[in-house]
Amino acid sequence: MPAMFRSELSAFWHDDSGVAGFVIATLFALAAVVVAVMLLGSGPERDLGSTRATAASLSQIEDAVAVYVTQDASQFLPCPADGSISGGARGFAPAPVGGACTINAGIVPFRSLGLAESDVTYAYGTMVTLVVDDLSLDVCNSTVGRPGNLTLFGGSQPNALYALISHGENRCGGYNSNSVQLAVVATAVEADNCADGSACTDPDTVSVTVGPHNDAGNEDLHFDDRVLPADSSDFDGLCLSVHGP
């Protein structure tokens, strides 16, 4: 180190005005902020924030589905939309054909529900999947579709009218904003929850896996999906308000 720099550095360290101490304290404070941001961005706090944001998104969609049923001419549940469609045609619920949806597991039809695409995109940037069994479509006019024909695995509730699925941090089986489906490993537990599409290895449209969660690192058993099933009781008062006693 040149002598002139050594002398300037020595003068800095031995400065009695307090400037050196202030600079050092500021640097330590900045370092602490950087570390805190890194921890919040990758630790439990971030997971908790993502969980809360996803739960809020699923609840908002659930409310929108209920409103859709009251306004639909037939009081049908909305059919899932094809996640591979892009542009302005994306996000519309296809009309049932012969009492059946063209696909039974797809993205939430946000345009038909009066929502924005961001409303149906959960915390990790992938769209929420809607699964509807055809026998549950006629939710208010038929006793056949209630209490629900969608089979649930891994939870306390055996059946549901429909289910909303966020595909967790690994996003397997869901569609992103570019209409691309993220692949599912053929033997993965999560394959049961994937939306219809070319990357779906198990397009099972009559059942949904609810849990249990497994982050043990075994790819075949990994499960981080969050599922909100709609119970028949959710529609009891709704259907009564539509049709009366």
Q: How many CB atoms lie within 10 A of CB 139?
A: 27
Q: What is the pLDDT of residues 158-211, one digit of tens each?
A: 888 899 999 888 888 899 989 998 877 655 678 888 888 877 765 556 788 888
Mean per-residue pLDDT of the chain = 77
- Among candidates 225, 126, 88, 112, which has minimal Cα distance to 167? 225
pLDDT of residue 139: 82
pLDDT of residue 203: 56
Q: How many domains does the chain have?
A: 1
Q: Which of 41-50, 210-219, 224-233 has the highest mean pLDDT?
A: 224-233
Mean pLDDT of 9-25: 51
Is residue 22, in this structure, part of any structural domain at all?
Answer: no
Is residue 1, in this structure, part of any structural domain at all?
Answer: no
Asked whether the predicted pLDDT for residue 46 surpasses 60, the reply is: no
Out of 125-139, 172-186, 211-225, pick the least confident.
Answer: 211-225
- Is the C-alpha dihedral spanning 175, 178, 179, 180 positive or negative? negative
Question: What's the domain range around 207?
Answer: 43-243
Mean pLDDT of 117-135: 91
pLDDT of residue 48: 61
Is residue 238, in this structure, part of any structural domain at all?
Answer: yes
Asked whether the predicted pLDDT for residue 61 surpasses 50, the reply is: yes
pLDDT of residue 168: 87
Q: Report the Cα–Cα distance between both ends of the chain, in Å, rounded.
A: 91
Please report which confidence band the pLDDT of residue 240 belongs to, taking 50, 70 and 90 as the band edges: low
Q: Which of 16-20, 153-157, 172-176, 204-208 has the highest mean pLDDT?
A: 172-176
Is residue 31, in this structure, part of any structural domain at all?
Answer: no
Beta carbons within 8 Å of 30's beta carbon, 6+ residues apart: none
Q: Give the Å distances, CA to CA, from 59 to 85, 164, 186, 192.
A: 25, 9, 30, 22
Strand-pairing partners, residue 175, are 181
Q: Kindly report the length of the chain.
A: 245
Is residue 113, in this structure, part of any structural domain at all?
Answer: yes
Is residue 33, in this structure, part of any structural domain at all?
Answer: no
Is residue 4, in this structure, part of any structural domain at all?
Answer: no
pLDDT of residue 72: 86
Asked whether the predicted pLDDT for residue 60 surpasses 80, the reply is: yes
pLDDT of residue 38: 35
pLDDT of residue 8: 54
